[in-house]
Chain A
Amino acid sequence: MTNVGSSLVYAIIASILQVALVALGGPLLMGLMAKVRARAEGRVGAPIHQPLRDLRKLMGKEGLRAHHSSAVLAVVPLVVLGSTTLAVAISPLVTTHPLLSASADLFVIVYLLLTGSVAMALAGLDTGTAFGGMGSSRAITIGALAEPALLVAVIALSIQARTSNLPAIVADTITHPVWTSTPTRLLALVALVIVVIAETGRLPVDNPNTHLELTMIHEAMTLEYAGSDLGLVTLGAAMRLGLLFALLMNLFVPWGVATGSSILWLLGAVVFLVLKTSLLAVVVSLIEVHSAKLRLFRVPELLAGGFVLAVLAVITQLAAR
């Protein structure tokens, strides 16, 4: 009984730690990526904690509601942030035993993220403006094309581990280090990197810094948001980035994730996770600096490439047995 009780307390602490880590770390990762980009362009750039400053300020400002908008516009930021937070709380980021780890199925995480995307796309259409509709149409198109690549890559990992339970996959990878260098993993890694870039709206799929409405994807859906609503949506996007980066690293370089139940180990895992995701952020932003945005109708080709790689990952896994 005490054992059950203490493991529950541990799980709660771990989940709270994960949420806090990603809520702070997501915006910091965005700041880091902006910093790397600025440095590569010869600028000093905003400090790494700039996104946190922006969020602090936005939360204190008034919100605006357009005429013709409905309750959807007000509810969507809560849904986006709520679904992402739930996904963060149950994913194996610093430990393989967070809350609800039995339900932390890969499909649950994928569909929680899909829920956020669907909500955002609806918000884009709610005010009935051309920009919102445009962003919504583009974002959902890219989401729909990234979805199969994501699912099939995830399935490749699940076949290898004989389960689609995320903490179990991470734990098994730690005990079978050979898995990380199998062709399945490497192919799935490339596919997932493409998907993560598309899902987080980074170059070459979407330019997060664009000011021109006609080139926007994610930004166009948020044009109607102001103040604290905008703060929630931005935080949601940042946490999504943090979650996807952390999951990507934990699936392919799982070491450092706490498999036991000591608090010290948890803190050590936090340090590892910060290092791993920062490394990924630096690499991704260096890729960004050196790539131009793809024309909208070239993006499906990129995602189709990711899809094919994911299918190959499944096939190599099946052939390997």
Chain B
Amino acid sequence: MSTLRYRKGSIFRSLVSRARTERAVSMPDVIPGTRLRGSLQLRHVDAGSCNGCEVEIASAFAPTYDAAQFGARLVASPRHADGVLVTGVVTRNMAGALVRTLDALPRPAVVVACGDCAVSGGIFRDAYGVAGALDSFVDVDVRIPGCPPHPEAITQALRSLSGR
């Protein structure tokens, strides 16, 4: 967890170039979960998801998996959050909102990509309305692969961040 590093100087350039650097999936244990010490608030941003991931996130917070018991919570404002939980490939319409959300996060902040679309663009990566995968905008700290990811995987990723 460190200062957010934007990939491109301006959102427009990134929209135009759409260049992506493939990076190794950062391992959860790289993140110093001790910083958060059992308190993880995330702002969820749907950057262009098919809502499959949303259903799974909802399940992760439902009684069966109950991610809340590990100190994780979704909050209403990025100001209150320790990071973003991004689902879906970044569409042109949501790119601005995503960048503004990242801007509104108090530092230090984490970026979590939830689902294949957010991680790599998934099946939509070359579609006409797509601005790019999440990591063409910002360094991603935690990737949760899967289409959609299993609630257990989401819970696991959140636990790795909260350290509980």
Contacts and interface: CB of A to CB of B under 8 A. Distances in A.
Q: Do A and B have CB atoms closer than 8 angstroms in the complex?
A: yes
Given A43-B66, A64-B79, A226-B106, A50 B39 contact: yes
A295 interface: no
B80 interface: yes
Interface in B5-58: 36-39, 41
Interface string A45-63: 1110010011011000111
Given A54-B41, A57-B36, A57-B39, A46 B71 contact: yes
Chain B contact residues (Cβ within 8 angstroms of A): what range? 20 to 34
A219 B76 contact: yes
Given A224-B79, A225-B79, A45 B39 contact: no
A57 B74 CA distance: 16
A41 B63 CA distance: 8
Contacts of A271: none
A211 interface: yes
Given A46-B68, A46-B71, A53-B71, A227 B106 contact: yes
A64 B104 contact: yes
Chain A binding surface, main DSSP class: loop
Chain B binding surface, main DSSP class: loop
B106 A61 contact: yes
Contacts of B63: 41-43
Interface string A21-45: 0000000000000000010011111
Contacts of B82: 57, 61
Given A45-B66, A50-B71, A211-B74, A64 B36 contact: no
Nearest to A53: B39
Given A45-B66, A50-B38, A211-B76, 9 more contacts: A38-B69, A43-B63, A43-B66, A44-B69, A46-B71, A53-B39, A54-B41, A61-B108, A222-B77
12 contacts: A43-B68, A43-B69, A44-B69, A50-B71, A61-B82, A61-B106, A62-B106, A64-B79, A211-B74, A213-B76, A223-B76, A224-B77
